[in-house]
Chains A and B, each alone.
Chain A
Amino acid sequence: MSVHDPRKAMTISLKINGAQRSVPAESDTPLLYVLRNDLGLNGAKFGCGLAQCGACTVLLDGKAVRSCVTEIGSIGEAEITTIEGLGTIDKPHPLQQAFIDEQAAQCGYCINGMIMSAKDLLDRNPHPTAAEVREGLAQNLCRCGTHGRIIRAVLRAAQNMGKT
């Protein structure tokens, strides 16, 4: 039985989307709750809470991680990028624009994870084949069945990013 230990209550400083943010949370708090509840960032979603669905994906130093199981105490100086850090509704990132252009969302709840995992994928492999996109997003679940459009959106983004 864990009992309140005042030594554990602390403020943790995190670098999120280029800004330093302090949050009043214990070090074992999953990053997802800090992003959503403390910082009001809606992008990362709670899906399963077990690192199985990918809806909560963010980038940690450019690598896709599941924020629902990433304890804030483990992050240190690493840079966190959320979908809000990629682009905005007025100035979307090519991946966000491609998902709009392909209308690649039904309910849209998984799309944060799809885009953030695709960002990681395209950073490592700027010109993936459809099979590589499928493989790269295999661990992100979509229950609506939007996979075909999602793959097309990632390929479109890769093409558009290659042009600029």
Chain B
Amino acid sequence: MRDVSISNVLWLLKLALLLQCVGVFFYLKGGSAIETMLFMEMGLEQANSKLVENIIAWVFLIFGIVAFLKPDKYLLVIISLLTLALAYIIKRQAGSPFTEWSIPSHFIRIILPIGILLLATNKQKNIRGAYWVLLVGLSITFITHGLEAWSLHPRFIDYLLISSEKTLGIRFKQSSAEIVLKVIGTIDILVALSTLVFPKNAVFYWMAFWGFVTAFARVTELGLGLYPEVLIRAGHWLVPISLVWLNEIRNQSKVP
């Protein structure tokens, strides 16, 4: 690989964060755990709950755009904390399978702004830190998804069954999908663990490919209207590419 600079990596990560924030914007506009918490738990009027949710949606969008143009460190920390808060609210409100795992499941989304922050503040000095923060964040997300797949997450079963029916015209039995999910879950966990010990580019490319395929499964299952679900997961496929580039930069810097 040639001509990869930290600026390239930074640009890629900022793009991932922008896409993620656009996805969160549409997710919140469609109704989320925030409205449920404010209305059901805190007793706010539904219209006011929805208003607050819309404001938070716009905050994500505007912060994402500003961070893309000018990645201010305070702004990045706020985006990270907001993303963590959203994952916590989803966990607290529950109401969907495996929401109790939402924080580790969303870990790369939460940690992505911190990775950008490390690269943007003092580029050369923080490459190693950014690399490990992003790698650990990505691994935690992959491991959690692997465990969900191993536990036969019902939505994952439907992604497989409906996507294969719509794209290949093949209607599999649930038992077949469950076997495939067990295999997928095992691979996800092994891949995530292996990157921590043997950070090979081939494995990162696999993670990028698989991260995109699984994010895009929402679209193959239920149509293009689900594109915000793909955007929210931009980090799942762009962060592994950034790790390849960071690896390359780190290796270059070691050459005398």
| Bound together | no
